Amino acid sequence: MNSAWHWVSIGTADLEAALAFWVGKLGFEEIGIAEGDDIGLRVHWRLSDQRVARQAMVRAPGAAFGAIHLVEWRSGTKSVRADAAVFDLCPKNLDIYVDDLPRRMAQLAEQGVIFRNKHYGEAVSPDGVHFREIHLAGHDDINLVLLQILGSETAIPATGFYGIGPLVCIVQDPASEKRFCQQVLGLALSHDNILAGPEIEQMIGLPEGCALEVSIWAQPGQPLGEVELVTYHGVAGVDQYPRASPGRRGVTHLNWWVEDIETFSLHLTSHGVRASSSHIEGRLIQTKATRTFRSPAGLQIEVHTAI
């Protein structure tokens, strides 16, 4: 595909509360909203026993990548990360780029946002990236990270919050997932590091002596819609990827647009990736064709071609 992902799908118990955060607090723009059930979307997702209450699509102002599709379900559903440990295997974090982390923390604190730690963490990765970050509990058990890259030339909107940079996925076998990102998704490796030490343990909330293997896969020159693979060394996590499917609350899967779905299908076959075929006649999303498949770790991916 050779491009950043276009949107992440998130199930929610309360669309109004989710929009209050993304639009009201972070300044994202609402680019579509629909009230009521969406039979076309449910048929595609094979969810005959659930009903959509409402849904919305939001993004950083004007951004072509890194959007969010929020779907509120009428009946209560469990979240992907319900009772999950820090190192459990699943799509875990959404990282949001900011211009000035101390300033944005103060701004959000005034609006009632509670952070996991009183102070932000600051570190320099082995490849020289100087960053600050703070974690906070988002809606529907999503872990959110505000991330400032010091010295970055990325233009941040006047709101101080950019879009979704990486979706952080916890994986057990980084080698196979890296091959998948490179060979199947066509993404480029932008960072590859081992992070360790007391600062990292405190920042992430890890037991003493643990370390993180971190790689970031992206469209060159595009800071939004990245995929970040994280493997925790020294601890073992439970595989929660089977939970990460439409109908659950929290992050369920990633979505890409492509121009030629048949060529992409042949590409999947050449790499031994099995995909199901469908199309979407939804209220917000309509596709001519859709292919659904999973990464080696279990991350669900949908690739669509427009009508």
Residue with the two structure tokens 């723009």: 29
Please tell me the predicted confidence (pLDDT) of residue 1: 78
Based on the fold, state whether residues 20 and 122 are members of the same structural domain: no
Neighbours of 114 (CB within 10 A): 8
Based on the fold, state whether residues 15 and 52 are members of the same structural domain: yes
Based on the fold, state whether residues 228 and 97 are members of the same structural domain: yes
Based on the fold, state whether residues 126 and 201 are members of the same structural domain: yes
Asked whether 47 and 26 are in contact (CB, 8 A), the reply is no
Based on the fold, state whether residues 62 and 170 are members of the same structural domain: no
Q: How far apart are CA 89 and CA 87, in angstroms?
A: 6
Based on the fold, state whether residues 128 and 192 are members of the same structural domain: yes
Q: How far apart are CA 179 and CA 161, in angstroms?
A: 31
Q: Is residue 244 part of a domain?
A: no
The amino acid that residue 63 corresponds to is A
Please name the residues in contact with 219: beta carbons below 8 A apart, sequence gap of 6 or more.
2, 3, 4, 65, 187, 188, 225
pTM comes to: 0.94
Residue 179 Cα distances to 46, 185, 265, angstroms: 30, 9, 18
Based on the fold, state whether residues 220 and 256 are members of the same structural domain: no
Largest interatomic CA distance in the chain? 53
Asked whether 143 and 92 are in contact (CB, 8 A), the reply is yes
Q: Which of 233, 268, 289 is the last residue of a domain?
A: 233
Please tell me the predicted confidence (pLDDT) of residue 204: 66
Query: Going by DSSP bridges, is the β-strand pair 143-149/91-98 parallel, antiparallel, or unpaired?
Result: parallel
Q: How far apart are CA 15 and CA 13, in angstroms?
A: 7
Per the structure, the complete domain to which residue 131 belongs is given by: 91-233
Per-residue pLDDT of the chain (307 residues; tens, 9 = 90+): 789 999 999 999 999 999 999 999 999 999 999 999 999 999 999 999 899 999 999 999 999 999 999 999 998 789 999 999 888 999 999 999 999 999 999 999 999 999 988 899 898 888 899 999 999 999 999 999 999 999 998 889 889 999 999 999 999 999 999 999 999 999 999 999 887 777 777 766 677 777 889 999 999 999 999 999 999 988 889 999 999 999 999 999 999 999 999 999 999 999 999 999 999 999 999 999 999 999 999 999 999 999 9
| 197 token code pair | 């030490």
Q: Which of 202, 233, 264 is the last residue of a domain?
A: 233
Q: Is residue 240 part of a domain?
A: no
Based on the fold, state whether residues 146 and 260 are members of the same structural domain: no
Residue with the two structure tokens 């929660």: 240
Q: Is residue 241 part of a domain?
A: no
Q: Is residue 242 part of a domain?
A: no
What is the DSSP secondary structure assignment for residue 239, as one 8-state letter? Answer: B
Based on the fold, state whether residues 257 and 197 are members of the same structural domain: no
CATH of the domain at 107: 3.10.180.10
Q: Which of 233, 262, 292 is the last residue of a domain?
A: 233
Based on the fold, state whether residues 97 and 223 are members of the same structural domain: yes
Q: Is residue 284 part of a domain?
A: yes
Based on the fold, state whether residues 13 and 70 are members of the same structural domain: yes
Q: Is residue 1 part of a domain?
A: no
User: How many domains is the chain partitioned into structurally?
Assistant: 2
Helix (H/G/I), strand (E/B), else coil: 49: coil
Q: Is residue 271 part of a domain?
A: yes
Nearest CA to 25 out of 96, 111, 100, 141 is that of 111
Please tell me the predicted confidence (pLDDT) of residue 199: 73
Based on the fold, state whether residues 169 and 229 are members of the same structural domain: yes
Q: Is residue 18 part of a domain?
A: yes
Please tell me the predicted confidence (pLDDT) of residue 250: 97
